[in-house]
Structure 1
């Protein structure tokens, strides 16, 4: 190969490398821009609850949570309820979540602002690595997506641990519907519940409004792309 051909080949390789680097930076910028959402901004009628960079607009156990790589994460060994500043009656909330092995968290639904979300609130919807061996003896009403201790969700629709799942929850009156990765896993009416796990009463199940939030249990579960819409 003569020197002129070598020069052309080198220039082509440099050009290709520069393009690949630029493309990589563009992809990184796209991800960063996608995760940077102003709290309160609306998309298709849904209001953003998380800006992707800090815990602006959140209340409750704020010190027990952190923001890492564009997601809200429970600090290891910490917990408590991180909740919205506003109360909601009927609403739809959608978000993405990622579970570590055996990860355990929950969604606080119509939470009054104090107490155990599973009992003081309307309910706690489980966020759990249900299939982990640690939970082999679970009551069905403790599986992921279940109205804790009251109504069992369908199992088998979580993605492998470490992957991002998408979920949408609709709360209307006393009814709750949970859609996990496109499949309805819970569609029930708490007004019809008369039997409770371990015979433990749920005094908050008839609440008409309350805060929405995350009920951490010491595991580093992550949440992102969190949007909520009030229903008439």
Structure 2
């Protein structure tokens, strides 16, 4: 029944939101109190196992923390999935990088996190799959003063996109955003029209647009082959907050469904 329900949701044949929208059409995905309606999947662990209390809620914020980890980070990449898939929507959230980076995580994860979308259902991921087949709105912060490091970029684990009129072979495509330093809150917006136009906005400014997301490419590993049929258009999927070695906070996560 779950598989059938997810399929119907993905095909866009019925509204599958677990929360009713407000009068202006926005749905609060995070209730500010707990992780109800969210599911964790961390590399090396079964779906639903929130190892080390990685994702937690405090003071109305979803926190990503590693203070309960022991030993090496051991590629414990994690994702927190909202339990409803969406196809056409405008999503808003705020994020800020905080605390100390896990020094045993890969160096590229320093001041690095993201928002996955059009993702596979976490319940279809084997225990040892590292990244979900999805598209990522990547969040970065500046490391060296005066050295640009844009945020709101696109990365593509197990997927492809069309950028500037052609399929782009790069795993990540940089946005045109400013570089943000320190522990400041940054507002990110994602506007998705199924498998046509995707728009990234940072602090109200459009910083990246691309089209035609589809399954393909590399980076995602040890997935169930039935879930990766290259060339399949990505018309809908799950939304997830990322954990990959850098503490980060998320708040004010809301979504408005759009007409196709």
Q: Which range, TM-score by smaller chain?
A: 0.5 to 0.7
Deviation at 1:226, TM superposition (A): 0.5
Contact 2:86 2:237 in 1 (8 A): yes
Matched residues in 2 for 1:203 and 1:108: separation? 19
Residues 1:208 and 2:221 aligned together = no
- Structure 1 residue aligned with 2:21, among 42, 48, 62? 42
Aligned to 2:95: 97
Instruction: Quote the offset at 1:175 in angstroms.
Output: 2.1
CA distance in 1, matches of 2:188, 2:118: 18
Asked whether the 8 Å contact 1:151–1:188 carries over to 2, the reply is no
Take 2:210 and 2:186, find their aligned partners in 1: how far apart are those partners? 22
Q: Is the 8 A contact 1:71 1:224 kept in 2?
A: yes
Give the aligned length.
Answer: 182
**Could you say which residue in structure 2 is the equivalent of 1:58?**
38
Alignment-derived partner of residue 208 in structure 2:
186
In the TM superposition, 1:1-232 aligns within 5 A as 40=19, 42-43=21-22, 44-61=24-41, 63=50, 64-76=54-66, 79-100=77-98, 102-112=110-120, 113=122, 114=125, 115-117=129-131, 120-121=133-134, 123-129=135-141, 131-133=142-144, 143-148=150-155, 149-156=171-178, 158=180, 160-172=181-193, 173-190=195-212, 203=230, 206-232=233-259
Answer yes or no: is the 8 Å Cα contact 1:96–1:167 preserved in 2. yes
TM-score normalised by L of structure 1: 0.67
What 5-or-longer segments of structure 1 have no aligned partner?
Answer: 1-38
When normalised by structure 2's length, the TM-score is 0.60
Take 1:128 and 1:202, find their aligned partners in 2: how far apart are those partners?
A: 30
Q: Which runs of 4+ in 1 moved over 4 A?
A: 201-205
